[in-house]
Amino acid sequence: MQQGSRPNSDEVGSALDGMICGLHLVEQRLTILDQEMVLVAPRSVDDVIDLYIGTSDKGAVQDTQDPYWCRAWPSAVALAELIFKHPTLVKGKEVLELGCGLGIAGLAAALAGAQQSVPTEAGQVSAATVDWQALETLHSLHPQVVVAADVMYDSLAPALLAKVLRHLGQRGSPLTAFIADPEERTKHHRREFLSLVSSGPDASFTVESNQVHKVLMDGITSSIRIMQLKARS
């Protein structure tokens, strides 16, 4: 990556006029390889935390409320780089991004020629709400490619992600999944996830690739592991 926004910055981007849900907005520009993305995001993580607290009956951030979606993270950038380097992975296909955050991987898929990219709205990108614990919310989605970044930090995530992918893999369309995760974080969650989807009598996916990618953001290099999985027919 040539330039970008450090995810741990308190406030990143150029201020915009107007607010959404009480959040001040900023414009962020990311250049990934030769592609530029213009993102509109909350001004800071603290603003999102304040919003969650202010709208909570308990006056606190709930377990289901993750404020860190509002920053660009290396895992999403790694997926975007992979897509831009190999556009045939998504070109002409339906792409679903799980746990999208700012939607960087989904936007990359749209820019690389995906027929449809869910869940961010921009041109050929649409939006959908998916509850990982309520599989009926997936009924209208028939992706051929699933992308997900930074979705396995929670202890419940491996089993939930495996369940969602199994369900999508049984929908009839050939399915390939690309899951990106920081190499040094929650390795045991990755092991659990891979065991659930690719081992034993209930194995529903084969592991096509499991490699570490280096991502440079504002002078800092991060190691991101990208797992490529293919649904068994």
Q: How would DSSP label each residue in 97-124?
A: EES-TTTHHHHHHHHTT-SEEES--SSS
Instruction: Examine the pLDDT at 24 and tell me if it is beyond 90.
Output: no
Number of other residues whose CB lies within 10 A of the CB of residue 223: 13
Contact by Cβ (8 Å): 64, 86: no
β-bridge mates for residue 212, sequence order = 225
- DSSP string over 35-85: EEEEEEEES-HHHHHHHHHHT-TTSS--TT--GGGGS--HHHHHHHHHHHH
Could you read off the pLDDT of 187-211 as tens digits, one per residue?
999 999 999 999 877 789 999 999 9
More confidently predicted of 111 and 135: 111
| Average pLDDT taken over every residue of the chain | 82
Q: pLDDT confidence of 141, banded at 50, 70, 90?
A: confident
Kindly indicate the confidence band of residue 53, based on its pLDDT and cuts at 50, 70 and 90.
Answer: confident
| Domains of the chain listed by start with CATH number | 14-68 (no CATH), 74-231 (3.40.50.150)
Q: Which residue has the higher pLDDT, 56 or 49?
A: 49
Q: Which residue has the higher pLDDT, 180 or 131?
A: 180
**What SS3 class is residue 17?**
strand
Cβ burial, residue 231 (10 Å; 0-12/13-18/19+) = buried
- The b/e string for 83-102 (b: 16+ C-beta within 10 A; e otherwise) is bbeeeebbeebbbbbbbbbb
Lowest average pLDDT, out of 81-85, 137-141, 149-153, 161-165, goes to: 137-141
pLDDT at residue number 133 = 61
Q: How far apart are CA 225 and CA 178, in angstroms?
A: 10
**Residue carrying the six token digits 């504002």:** 218
